[in-house]
Structures are given as structure tokens and as C-alpha cells.
């Protein structure tokens, strides 16, 4: 990671870990501490927002430059050349998380009990920035978190199917973002930096049914780009993946995405509901839950509980 990238990330509140990783406090962690408001992952899956560690082992590396990404996109290269030890990354990520949280101790809005819990995170969201499957020791990283009693959510764009297929151990829950119904839109909206990105994503979807962990397909929906009249194409892709959960979620007009898209590209909650109902009908999934402030709907394959022991 070059010094200019480090400077920009630190200014934005990232804590740099080693040579290619980072931690940043999630908006919902702060909301949970200060105002007792929580993210949709807590509502849907039981993850405690104030105990969630949001990190990336590949800050400077990605296989796509998605137009809707609200993060700073510093990606100078796709593949990591020299990698840090996973045990070091995990220990340092926890230390940096505590450093970022320590200042909340004296805020009168934060309960002492909740602050103490936050200082001992129990969940790792490997989803901060960049593409985590580009870190070649990802399985060891997940294992190190699990050794410490963490649950793990891994979020991937699905362009590294060979990593997903051979990942050991698997995360507690695996997210794959499917933000295009077809290859034409994929190339225009997700701007792949590698060849055959669409084919590689489809290969990942084919692998998912064989993986013994909880699986989620997230459809990030951008009005005027990838949602109107595309429910049937998404349903076919979901049929290949057979995920436990599907999350139709609105693009939000924030961060760096404002340089590439407009507020008119942000779907309303009613539009997300309409899309989700149509997709549920086509896939046979249940319309299980929704969270309006995140503009997201949860579709489930069965009526079994969605919560994990987190």
C-alpha cells in the first residue's frame, strides 16, 4: 500500500493493519453504542452491531471497480504479492478495533456494559474494502477468528471461484454479491479488472450448493441500471446458487459513488419491496423480513430460524 493511499484511508477513519489490511468502525456500531440502533444483520441474523469488527485483508486489491461502490477505490493491482501472517492480522485487527472504540467510554450516551462488550468483539465482517478472496491465506484468517470464538461473515464479489471452492474452513456465513442480471450490465456497472469476470461469477454460483455453510446472495440494486424488469434473470441465477437467503438491497447515494451515479439511481424502499415480492414469487422463497432504514429485504429458502449463535 503506497503512502498516499494510507494517508487517505487514515483520514477517512481506517486503521491500517500491516501491509495490506485495515479496520474501520461501522456506522451501525456507533449507532448501536450511542443510540441503541442496529444494522439489518442484527435484525436478520442475530449479529450484535456493537460487537462487530469490520475488516479487510486486501485493502488495495480488487477485481472490479463497481460504479455503485461508496468506498474509496485505491486499487492499484489485483493480486497480492507479499502477504502478512493471518495470526498477526487477526490480533492487530482486534487491537486496532479496541483503540478506535476506547474513546466512547466517557460518552454519557454509552452504557458501560455495552462499551465493555464492544471492546471484546465477537463477530468479524470480512467485507470492508477490496476483495478479500485475493488474500491467499484467507482460510487461515477465518480459522484464527474462529479460534477466538468469533463468528465470521465473508463478503465476496464471486470472481475467485477457485478460492471459494477450496476455502477451509468456511466462514459462518458466505455472502456473494450478484449485482447484474447478465453479462452486458455486469461489464458496464461492475467494471471488471480481470478477464472473464462474469463467467467466474457464474462458476462461483455453481459451486455454492456444495458448500456446507450458510449462503447469501445479495442483489445490490441500482435504479436505471440493473433492477427494472430483470427479476426473471436474477431468479435464474439464484436458482443456480440455491442460497439460504437472498437480500435485495438498494444502492445508497453516499461516498465516492456520488462521483459516478446520481440520487435518482437510489431505489425507494417501496421499489425494493416490489422487486423482492416478484423475486420471491419466481424463486419460491419466503418474504421473511425487511429493514427500511437500510432499504433491504430478507428472502429465505425455508421458514427455519435465521439467527445464529452470535
What is the C-alpha separation between 144 and 48, in angstroms, rounded? 20
Q: Comparing 81 with 119, which gets the higher pLDDT?
A: 119
Q: How many helices (H) and strands (E) does the chain have?
A: 11, 10
In this model, does residue 310 exceed pLDDT 70?
A: no
DSSP 34: H
Query: Which helix (H) or strand (E) is 141 found in, with range?
Result: helix 138-147
- Strand-strand pairing, 296-300 and 245-250: antiparallel
170 grid coordinates: 468456511
139 grid coordinates: 482460510
Largest CA distance in the chain: 53
* pLDDT tens track for 247-301: 999 999 988 889 999 999 999 999 999 999 999 999 999 999 999 999 999 999 9
- The reported pLDDT for the residue numbered 37 is 95
Q: Tell me what percent of the residues of the chain surpass a pLDDT of 90.
A: 86
78 grid coordinates: 489485483
In this model, does residue 1 exceed pLDDT 80?
A: no
- The reported pLDDT for the residue numbered 74 is 62
In this model, does residue 224 exceed pLDDT 90?
A: yes
In this model, does residue 77 exceed pLDDT 80?
A: no
Question: For the residues 29-40, what does the mean pLDDT come to?
Answer: 96
- The reported pLDDT for the residue numbered 45 is 97
- The reported pLDDT for the residue numbered 165 is 98
pLDDT band at 143 (very low <50, low <70, confident <90, very high): very high
- The reported pLDDT for the residue numbered 81 is 84
3-300 maps to CATH 3.60.15.10: no
Phi/psi of residue 88, nearest 5 degrees = -60, -45
Q: For the chain, give percent helix, strand, coil, nearest 5.
A: 45, 20, 40
Phi/psi of residue 219, nearest 5 degrees = -100, 105
- The reported pLDDT for the residue numbered 200 is 98
pLDDT band at 76 (very low <50, low <70, confident <90, very high): low
What is the C-alpha separation between 140 and 156, in angstroms, rounded? 17
Q: What does pLDDT average to over the chain?
A: 95
Query: In a 3-state reduction of DSSP, which class is residue 115?
Result: helix
157 closest CA partner among 201, 220, 208, 196: 201
Q: Is the dihedral of CA 42, 47, 52, 56 positive or negative?
A: negative
Amino acid at each position: 500500500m503506497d503512502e498516499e493511499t494510507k494517508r487517505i484511508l487514515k483520514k477517512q477513519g481506517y486503521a491500517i493493519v500491516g501491509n495490506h489490511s485495515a479496520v474501520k468502525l461501522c456506522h451501525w456500531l456507533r449507532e448501536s453504542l450511542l443510540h441503541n440502533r442496529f444494522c439489518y444483520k442484527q435484525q436478520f441474523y442475530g449479529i450484535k452491531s456493537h460487537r462487530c469488527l469490520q475488516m479487510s485483508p486486501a485493502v488495495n486489491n480488487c477485481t472490479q471497480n463497481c460504479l455503485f461502490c461508496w468506498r474509496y477505490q485505491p486499487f492499484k493491482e489485483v493480486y497480492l504479492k507479499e502477504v502478512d501472517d493471518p495470526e498477526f492480522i487477526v490480533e492487530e485487527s482486534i487491537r486496532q478495533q479496541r483503540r478506535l472504540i476506547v474513546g466512547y467510554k466517557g460518552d454519557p450516551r454509552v452504557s458501560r456494559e455495552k462499551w465493555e462488550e464492544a471492546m471484546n468483539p465477537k463477530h468479524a465482517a470480512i467485507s470492508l474494502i477490496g476483495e478479500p478472496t485475493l488474500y491467499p491465506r484467507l482460510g487461515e484468517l477465518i480459522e484464527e477468528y474462529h479460534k477466538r470464538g468469533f463468528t465470521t461473515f465473508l463478503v465476496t464479489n464471486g470472481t475467485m471461484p477457485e478460492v471459494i471452492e477450496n476455502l477451509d474452513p468456511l466462514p459462518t456465513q458466505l455472502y456473494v454479491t450478484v449485482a447484474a442480471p447478465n453479462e452486458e450490465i455486469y461489464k458496464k456497472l461492475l467494471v471488471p479488472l480481470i478477464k472473464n469476470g462474469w463467467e467466474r461469477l457464474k462458476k462461483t454460483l455453481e459451486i455454492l450448493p456444495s458448500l456446507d455453510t450458510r449462503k447469501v446472495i445479495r442483489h445490490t440494486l441500482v435504479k436505471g441500471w440493473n433492477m427494472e424488469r430483470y427479476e426473471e434473470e436474477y431468479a435464474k441465477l439464484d436458482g443456480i446458487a440455491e442460497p439460504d437467503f437472498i437480500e435485495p438491497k438498494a444502492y445508497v447515494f453516499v461516498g465516492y459513488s456520488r462521483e459516478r451515479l446520481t440520487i435518482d439511481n437510489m431505489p425507494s424502499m417501496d421499489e425494493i419491496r416490489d422487486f423482492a415480492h416478484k423475486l420471491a414469487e419466481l424463486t419460491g422463497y419466503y418474504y421473511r423480513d425487511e429493514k427500511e432504514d437500510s432499504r433491504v429485504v430478507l428472502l429465505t429458502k425455508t421458514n427455519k430460524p435465521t439467527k445464529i449463535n452470535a
